[in-house]
Amino acid sequence: MGVGFRMFIIKFGGSVITDKKQKYTFERSTILRLISEIKEAQKRTLVVHGAGSFGHIMAKEYELHKGYKNEGQIQAAAGVQKDVKHLNLMVLDSFLEIGISAVSLAPSSFVINENGKIKSMDMGSFKRYFDMGFTPITFGDVVLDDAISFSICSGDQLMLELARTFLPEKAIFVADIDGIFSSAPQSDESPKLLPTIDEDIFLSIKKSDSHVDDVTGSIYGKLEIMFEIASLGLETIILNGRVENRLKEALQGKDIVCTKIESRH
């Protein structure tokens, strides 16, 4: 692999770096703080970010996750690709401003999907840039799809592929909540944060909630991917990026408020 030591892979969820309900709202101060925490922790990372309001709103409107159905989608797909690149450029700028030499790798040029799942992904550039000391950054995108012409490549799927290749010390999902709750925080008066979640607990929560939020699935779809990462024997956590120092302390190996994903496989 060429990577001499283990690094961390981090996903900044779209709900942390944008306001998901309002188009094109970049949470600049939050991302700058999170990047400063990476810098202070002095750890090497590979970073993925979600699309938030730069991708999901239009992707949902034009059903881009379902692949090619009509010509009107072509302009929408081009528009979403442009919008997520725009978001990525702002994330990249933030890294450079904090003093981390990030390079951006757009999935539209190195990922091929099949029925909305990654079929192939060229890891060569990630390895080479990382080995030279850069911090590669990638993001949820619209990509070519061998079965349905084009589809969405989610940041979570990118995390899984990166985890398989780089076997990081930890896979960290930075969200806007403390972790996974015993029931959805909005619908329960006293939801409890689960310090750990295994497949059994996951299935019981999933059964009692049918909420689906965006084109890449509900939190449950994301959790399934997290379980896949955990099943590689990798520490996988979801933490609240809106709370100062949680990310830094997770990188430093401290005990923090979060949910740890535990797979028995």
Provide the minimum distance between the beta carbon of 210 and ligand IP8 in the complex, in angstroms, as a whole number: 19
Q: Is residue 247 at the binding interface for ligand IP8, with CB under 6 A as the rule?
A: no
Cβ atoms of residues 7 and 130 within 8 Å = yes
Where does this chain touch ligand IP8 (CB under 6 A) — which range of 35-43, 95-103, 118-126, 135-143?
Answer: 135-143
Regarding 215 and contact with ligand IP8 (CB under 6 A), the answer is: yes
Does position 154 interact with ligand IP8 (CB under 6 A)? The reply is yes
C-alpha–C-alpha distance, residues 144 and 142, integer Å: 7
Closer residue to ligand IP8, CB minimum distance, 18 or 135: 18
Three-state secondary structure readout of the chain: CCCCCCCEEEEECHHHHECCCCCCCECHHHHHHHHHHHHHHCCCEEEEECCHHHCHHHHHHCCHHHCCCCCHHHHHHHHHHHHHHHHHHHHHHHHHHHCCCEEECCHHHCEEEECCEEEEECCHHHHHHHHHCCEEEEECEEEEECCCEEEEECHHHHHHHHHHHHCCCEEEEEECCCCCECCCCCCCCCCCECCEECHHHHHHHHHCCCCCCECCECHHHHHHHHHHHHCCCCEEEEEECCCCCHHHHHHCCCCCCCEEECCCC
Q: How many of the chain's residues bind ligand IP8 (CB under 6 A)?
A: 17
In the list 20, 33, 47, 50, the residue contacting ligand IP8 (rule: CB under 6 A) is 50
Q: How many residues does the chain have?
A: 265
First to last CA, the chain: 25
Report the residue closest to ligand IP8, judged by CB. 140
User: Taking the complex as a whole, how short is the minimal distance between the CB of residue 149 and ligand IP8, in angstroms?
Assistant: 15
**What is the closest distance, in whole angstroms, from the C-beta atom of residue 238 to ligand IP8 in the complex?**
14
Q: What is the CA radius of gyration of the chain?
A: 17
Does position 59 interact with ligand IP8 (CB under 6 A)? The reply is yes
155 touching ligand IP8, by CB under 6 A: yes
Contact string 8-37 vs ligand IP8 (x = CB under 6 A):
------x-----------------------
Q: Is 56 in the site for ligand IP8 (CB under 6 A)?
A: yes
Of the candidate spans 28-36, 98-106, 140-148, 238-246, the one that interacts with ligand IP8 by CB under 6 A turns out to be 140-148
Stretch that binds ligand IP8, among 36-44, 54-62, 90-98, 111-119 (CB under 6 A): 54-62
Binding mask 83-102 toward ligand IP8 (x if CB under 6 A, else -) reads: -x------------------
Residue 156 touches ligand IP8, criterion: CB under 6 A: yes
Question: In the complex, which residues of this chain contact ligand IP8 (CB under 6 A)?
Answer: 14, 50-51, 55-56, 59, 80, 84, 140-142, 152, 154-156, 215-216
